[in-house]
Amino acid sequence: MRLTMRDGSATEEKILKLAKKMIIKDGIANLDMKVLAEKIGCSRSTLYRHFSSKGDIMIKLVEESLQIISSSSQNLPKDIHFDNGFEEFSWYVNERAKALIKEVDSVTFIRDYDCLYTNAYPQSSHLEGFKDFIKGDYLSDPWFIAFKKGMEDGSIRHFDDPKLQVLTISNGLLGIAERVIPRVPFYLQEQGYGEEFVLNQAKLYLNSIKNW
């Protein structure tokens, strides 16, 4: 799915980068704004001028993490050609799977965010903008366009609700990545597979929608 992150200042990017590093190491619940300000080398008042709450940082970081993952599987190379919509949609799905494997820190942060904020969003002045960011414009989304193209040319099975299918695949890949990618070494020891779970999930999804 296409996600477009809002621009931020260089100072905000520095704050977010350090905050993310601290969260990956110690967890979201243990992020302390005072400690964050000290590590950045600024006063808490300066920090709060950029982010009025811890929730603001959480919203911006999850938005940024989703954008990092999605950006690598949105823009088709200029020299690539597909014979049908299924081939194009497959490219998006497989590139997303590879991005989820590569972006370990972003996947780990999203996992921790999803686990902590199960009953409510973080309190943040950026919340409404974040909701709009997540909703996006699915009619202009390249995944949705390729999926519809595949249904029209017969390479993808007909679905009454293609939007649901596209979102299921996108969210399903993220879900298995959240479970596996931060703990790949343990999965390799325990089950003999790690990153392969994400790649195989992508293959299973694609096989389920292909019009054989």
Buried b (16+ CB within 10 A) or exposed e, 201-210: bbeebbeebe
| Residue 62: closest CA among 9, 95, 19 | 19
The reported pLDDT for the residue numbered 160 is 97
- 3-state class of 212 per DSSP? coil
The reported pLDDT for the residue numbered 41 is 87
Position 5 pLDDT exceeds 60: no
Asked which of 3-7, 26-30, 82-86, 149-153 is least confident by mean pLDDT, the reply is 3-7
Residue 210 φ then ψ, to 5°: -70, 135
Report the mean per-residue pLDDT for the chain: 90
End-to-end Cα, the chain, rounded Å: 25
More confident residue, 1 or 139: 139
| Residue 87: closest CA among 152, 156, 141, 140 | 156
The reported pLDDT for the residue numbered 7 is 44
